[in-house]
Amino acid sequence: MSGTYVYADNAATTRVSQRALAAAMPFFRESFGNPSSIHSRGAACASAVLKARQQVQLALGADKVGEIYFTSGGTESDNWAIRGAGEMGERSGRRHIITSAFEHHAVLNTCAYLERKGFEITYLPVGKEGLISPGQVEKALREDTCLVSIMAANNEIGTVQPIGDIGSLCRERGVLFHTDAVQAVGNMPINVEKMNIDLLSLSGHKLHAPKGVGALYCRRSIDLPSLIFGGGQERGRRAGTENVPAIAALGEAITEICEGMEEKNARVGEMRDRLMEGLLKIKGTYVNGSMEKRLPGNLNITFKGVEGESLVLTLDMKGIAASTGAACTGGSVNASHVLTAIGLDPADARSTLRISLNGENTDDDIGYMLSVIPGVIDRLRELSPLWYEDEK
């Protein structure tokens, strides 16, 4: 095996950037105080947290720094936004939530929890293209709708939803709008003011900050109930001593990725398209979801008759990291709910590879993948006589 290792699983997680790492380092051993302490060691940490909050505010186009709350990641932010909005709705007798069938499980399972508590949830279907239209949301809105939660970009197929239009619609109708922007931030322009977003979830480890840190944007006018009770951190809304190194890294990473986004996206999009063209030459292969409305780094591709898990493990042995289904669902062999939601049959859904590129990938990575993947597909298909039977 050569020493080449291509990491093409950036939708699962990203490498911490040098800048983010440098921002975190002082807060492990030098300035290790508690941000709530009034001595200088504490104050240094409190300023680092404030700086990071301003960096996130700027990246999201938020009006006020106090609209940014640090959390432990995307899952917590999604739980907080949806459970909080549900509790607010309940107070005014509104117990209906609109979401989509292909959200991340952090959203779907929180909605399922509220459903067990007596809420009604509308799961909007997503067509073959993997897109939700504002018209679908409009039709589903009811007098008792308290929240619309639609992801900005899908984690498996990378399709980008018209969140600005959905935001305007919700604003007109006086309904809260939450978006899970975990895959979107740093990979497409986001502006919570212009897009009329009320609540937005993001996660550090998808944008070159460490795992276990994230943020929730919550519009100032919303009195969102707490999810975690304790001390007065995060203005008393999200208790617990702040993860200062990770928060400092998140602030730096979000600044860095947003600064270079346009140039990075153009380069990443070109690499993705070259890879796609090469892989589509393989027989019995198709790409899932809209290519026009899609994150530049995402390629979700079905190789008929190839078992996805075997493909990922074989590619790993050859020095390529990619994934089948969503890595976040933790080793599950069930067909991906995203792929079945866009109409794939379970067999094809299990024969699907997600390649997710980002700014760290190079043209050589694409060349290497194109030199390895076709041979691996051929070999695995030889072991899958069923597919050959169908092709005869």
Question: What positions carry a catalytic annotation?
Answer: 328
Whether 178 contacts 111, CB under 8 Å: no
Contact between 9 and ligand PLP by CB under 6 A: the answer reads: no
Contact between 350 and ligand PLP by CB under 6 A: the answer reads: no
The helix (run of H) or strand (run of E) holding residue 149 is strand 145-149
Contact between 252 and ligand PLP by CB under 6 A: the answer reads: no
Q: Please tell me the distance from the alpha carbon of residue 392 to that of residue 379, in angstroms, as a whole number.
A: 18
Label the pairing between strands 352-356 and 68-71: unpaired
Residue number, 180 or 307, with CB nearest to ligand PLP: 180
Chain Cα centroid distance, residue 150? 12
Contact window for ligand PLP (CB under 6 A) among 70-78, 83-91, 120-128, 248-256: 70-78
The helix/strand/coil state of 319 is coil
Output phi, psi for 21, to 5 deg: -65, -45
Nearest-approach distance from CB 75 to ligand PLP, in angstroms = 3
Nearest-approach distance from CB 151 to ligand PLP, in angstroms = 6
Residue number, 31 or 324, with CB nearest to ligand PLP: 324
Residue 18 has which token pair? 């040098």
Nearest-approach distance from CB 179 to ligand PLP, in angstroms = 10
Contact between 73 and ligand PLP by CB under 6 A: the answer reads: yes
To 10 degrees, the CA torsion angle through 279, 349, 78, 22?
-30
Residue number, 182 or 261, with CB nearest to ligand PLP: 182
Radius of gyration of the chain (CA): 22
The helix/strand/coil state of 102 is coil
Contact between 182 and ligand PLP by CB under 6 A: the answer reads: yes
Contact between 75 and ligand PLP by CB under 6 A: the answer reads: yes
The helix/strand/coil state of 160 is strand
**Number of other CB atoms surrounding residue 148 within 10 Å:** 28
Nearest-approach distance from CB 248 to ligand PLP, in angstroms = 17
Contact between 214 and ligand PLP by CB under 6 A: the answer reads: yes
* 108 to 147: interface string for ligand PLP, x by CB under 6 A: ----------------------------------------
Residue 58 has which token pair? 């700027």
Residue number, 78 or 307, with CB nearest to ligand PLP: 78
Whether 25 contacts 247, CB under 8 Å: no
Q: Please tell me the distance from the alpha carbon of residue 81 to that of residue 104, in angstroms, as a whole number.
A: 14
Nearest-approach distance from CB 327 to ligand PLP, in angstroms = 7
Contact window for ligand PLP (CB under 6 A) among 15-23, 60-68, 170-178, 180-188: 180-188
Give the residues lining the site for ligand PLP (CB under 6 A): 73-75, 78, 104, 106, 151, 155, 180, 182-183, 203, 205, 214, 328
